Chain A
Amino acid sequence: MYDFISGMIAMGYLVAGVFFLRFWRDTRDRLFAMFGAAFFILALQRFGLEFAKGLPEHEPLWYFVRLLAFVIIIAAIVDKNRKK
């Protein structure tokens, strides 16, 4: 059950990421590129957790990957608010 949910979530992140990339294409607003990257990384994290099932000591690494995604989102917000 968990695998099924996790797979759906990974797909969800991927699809959202593609939408964000499209928004970046349409608007050239860097915020969308960064959100897209973050969502792709969140998808990657789900993939990683799947493969880490054989190596449980690697699991924490993949949670730092999730952190990276959120750090990118923070960076996007900071970037949006910097005086140009």
Chain B
Amino acid sequence: MNQPSEESIPENVRRFIIDHINTVEVLEILLLLFGQPAQDLSAAEVSRRLYTSEESAAGRLNELHQTKLLVVTPGEPPKYRFNAASPDSARVSELEKIYKERRVSVISFIYSKPSDPLRAFSDAFRLRKDEP
């Protein structure tokens, strides 16, 4: 499962993806807000921009807020902004650059990591990674 293209993602960005990014949707939402640091966006606005459902956007925005990547302005509806004080800013910036250059590698890396530790343990004993 370790395709050559994945090796080209730097270790710290890979670690960031493993820790924070489970789906492409999360990645796109994060990068959308990262790219517009001055603007507060609500779930509705995000869902319009990215063609995703509003509930889904709201859920992901909340998750990103829980991990301190976004700051929230509470209200009705709550609005989110990228947390400029986040210690991960540099890595998000690097991730943005790499996603532009090597979109397929990033996407395939996101989906190649098992999020469940038990699954990961079990999969570690697969000697040939092309099996399901």
Contact = CB atoms under 8 A, between A and B. Distances in A.
Interface in B87-132: 118-119, 121-122, 125-128, 131
B129 to A, nearest CB: 11
Interface residues of B, number: 9
Contacts of A29: 118, 122
B122 A83 contact: no
Contacts, number: 24
A27 B118 contact: yes
A61 interface: no
B122 A32 contact: yes
A32 B127 CA distance: 17
B103 to A, nearest CB: 33
B126 A81 contact: yes
A31 B124 CA distance: 11
Interface string A53-84: 00000000000000000000000110011010
A26 B126 contact: no
Contact of A81 (B118, B119, B121, B128): B128
5 contacts: A29-B122, A77-B125, A80-B122, A81-B125, A83-B131
Nearest to A79: B125
A23 interface: yes
B131 A31 contact: no
